[in-house]
Structure 1
Amino acid sequence: MRTNHIDDQKDLSLIKGLDAQCKLFSIKSNKFYKRANKELEVVIRAILAQRRSGGNLADLLETMEDTIRGRVRILEELHTLTAQGRMSSWIITLLPVGLGLYLALVNSEYFAPMLEHPLGWALLFVGSVSIIIGWVIIQKIIRIEV
């Protein structure tokens, strides 16, 4: 019986600590929402709401577990489905760079005007900027938030 009392005190102190942390986080809400794990935020808010309103904490935690497991499963599926897009972005980004290096090493006379003439420098600059912009756009297309 005494160990249950101690465990209850530990649980109560944990929840009080979470409550104090949430109050601190609400003061610094922007930093908390940007950096914290979304699942952790949901669990903390659910525990605090359960503490205020009452109810069965075990059922709440089981429901939260199912929700988080479903979210992780969906994230893994999305990661798998976007693998082709990620690989394509790297290939499309590195192909012009690799081709330029290949031409510079294999036939330096053919590639020399790109490195020696101001028009070649301008073309290399525009090409580099286009590659970076294309890579950023592809990354935005691939990135899906759940």
Structure 2
Amino acid sequence: MTLLLILSVSTAMLLVWAGFTLGSQLLVDYRQRFTADTTFNLRELYMVADPVKLYALNLVLLLLATMMVWLMTGSAILGVVSAVALGFLPWFAFNLLKKRRMELIEQQLPDTLQLFAGAVRAGLSLVGAIRQITSELPLPISQEFQLMLREQRLGVSLDDSLENLTHRVPIQAINLMASAMRIANETGGSLAESLERAAHTLRSQHAMERKIRALTAQGKMQAWVVGLLPLGLLVILSKMEPQAMGMLWTTRIGWGAIALVLMLEFFGIWFIRKIVAIDV
């Protein structure tokens, strides 16, 4: 009996030690990956922040969210699931910031090209026009052209700096601008006219996109209404019939039903938004 007790205690201690070691290694790997990805994303967004502090803040939020879900539902599994879901929150946040930045650059580009065309008509070269106009441009498009000027000072050719710009800002408007500048620079055509035509084309495209966005706004709103309606009913029924609805949070069948509902909700919203998304 004593030997069995010793073996049980030793096995439990070994499992605890293995779990602690594995958890520590996973935490170290997560920290390295998080700081590396955050450093890269902050550099792309021209933002200054300490990745280590952001990691600590993210870890605190994950622990608080896990504890709150656990206390509210009484299920440790749902707490872990919520922590895993919130672990993707920084990725979604950075992607949203990048998307907003690209949209701002795309909106600012027609006016920027018009300014460049005016400077070229005044007798400046393309590099001289960029150097003179960049300080007057709003953020974030001015950051990209300032980096382009720094590359020019370091000896990078115009074609290479334009190629780097298209890689940093992978949108169709920047590709159109870079193509117009390359063609005018190589063939000796009228650069001012090329820039004005590119600006006019981009303005027409933006007007069409705004019109399409207005026409499809109702369909996109319906996707969110239809998607959030079952969740609202779930909250109402949980208040009206807490004993019956409690099985969703405390049994495996309930967890499976919640997972199925969430999966169907995700694909339903995704399909509706894909249907109403029209690419110009």
What TM-score does the superposition give when structure 2 sets the normalisation length?
0.42
Is 1:122 the equivalent of 2:253? no
Q: Alignment partner of 2:125: what SS?
A: helix
Q: Distance in 2 between matches of 1:12 and 1:96?
A: 57
Q: Distance in 2 between matches of 1:12 and 1:135?
A: 46
Bigger mean CA deviation after superposition, 16-25 or 50-59: 16-25
Q: Distance in 2 between matches of 1:105 and 1:61?
A: 62
Q: Match for residue 182 of structure 2?
A: 48
Flag the 1:41–1:11 CA change in 2: closer, same or farther, 3 A: same
Q: Match for residue 125 of structure 2?
A: 11
Flag the 1:21–1:107 CA change in 2: closer, same or farther, 3 A: farther
Flag the 1:92–1:99 CA change in 2: closer, same or farther, 3 A: same
Amino acid at match of 1:11: S
Match of 2:194 among 31, 56, 60: 60
**Percent identity (aligned):** 23
Q: Which structure would you say has the larger RCO, counting Cα contacts within 8 Å and 6 or more residues apart?
A: 1
Runs (4 or more) in structure 1 with deviation over 6 Å come to none
Is 1:137 the equivalent of 2:251? no
What TM-score does the superposition give when structure 1 sets the normalisation length?
0.76
Match of 1:22 among 159, 172, 195: 159
How far residue 50 of structure 1 moved from its aligned partner, in angstroms, is 1.1
Q: Match for residue 238 of structure 2?
A: 104
Q: CA RMSD in A?
A: 2.8
Q: Distance in 2 between matches of 1:143 and 1:21?
A: 36
Q: Distance in 2 between matches of 1:15 and 1:48?
A: 15
1:39-82 CA distance string (max 9 Å, x none)? 12211211220121122233222222221111010110111111
Flag the 1:81–1:22 CA change in 2: closer, same or farther, 3 A: farther
Q: Distance in 2 between matches of 1:51 and 1:82?
A: 40
Q: Distance in 1 between matches of 2:157 and 2:200?
A: 27
Q: Alignment partner of 2:189: what SS?
A: coil
Is 1:87 the equivalent of 2:201? no
Which runs of 5 or more residues in structure 1 are unaligned?
1-6
